[in-house]
Amino acid sequence: MEVNERFSWAAAIIAPKPASVLLEIGCGTGILAELIAGKLDTGKIICIDQSTSMIRMAIQRNKRYVLLHKASFEATGFADAVLQEKQFDKVFAFNVNFFWKQPAKELALISRCLKPAGELFVFYQTPGRIDMKLCKAIEARLEENGFRISDTITGNFAISAAFCIIATPLSA
């Protein structure tokens, strides 16, 4: 099955190590999870999405990784997810809207569940050109809530553009 180039771009930026433990917030149909799980050996990706139908499709798409215990999927909102402290090497989300609203509760949860030196990747795809105003707003929300921006990466694709903000909790 052909994969939209934004997902290949995102997987390359996330660059998981074979033993990485990752969390994807808002996994949709599991396309990015599939690319990540294929790079894992002893690691695991946990994926959550509010939509039960999206989770069903993601499980079907990633059946082999679920059977190998490299991927798991749960239908839940992020704020309601049961996550262990210091569990994840990397947390990532693509087009998840709480990052540009009032994300204090969610960012505190992300900060608690990231391992020391863990990273947060906030991806956003825009139709057409990159919306740097939105990018700057998300960076400001991250900084206001105890994260340090380590990099912002942009990508231009055939029909769209995207950005990725990489951040680490200051408390780590």
User: What is the average per-residue pLDDT within 65-87?
Assistant: 93
Output the six-digit token pair for 23: 């969390």
Scored b (16 or more CB within 10 A) or e, 64-90 reads ebbeeebbebeeeebeeeebeeebbbb
According to DSSP, the β-strands at 160-169 and 114-127 are antiparallel
Instruction: Check pLDDT > 70 for residue 172.
Output: no
Contact status, residue 159 vs residue 125, Cβ threshold 8 Å: no
pLDDT in tens, 93-142: 998 887 767 788 899 999 999 999 999 999 998 777 777 888 999 999 99
Q: How far is CA 142 from the centre of its chain?
A: 15
C-alpha span between 12 and 35 (Å, rounded): 9
C-alpha span between 118 and 135 (Å, rounded): 21
Q: What separation, in Å, do the N-terminal and C-terminal C-alpha atoms of the chain show?
A: 39
Strand partners, 165: 122, 152
User: What's 62's DSSP letter?
Assistant: T
Give the number of other Cβ atoms within 10 Å of residue 159's Cβ.
10
Give the pLDDT score at 51.
Answer: 96
Give me the CATH topology for the region 5-169.
Rossmann fold (3.40.50)
Percent share of the chain, pLDDT over 70? 97
pLDDT grade for 61, boundaries at 50, 70 and 90: very high
Give the pLDDT score at 102.
Answer: 76
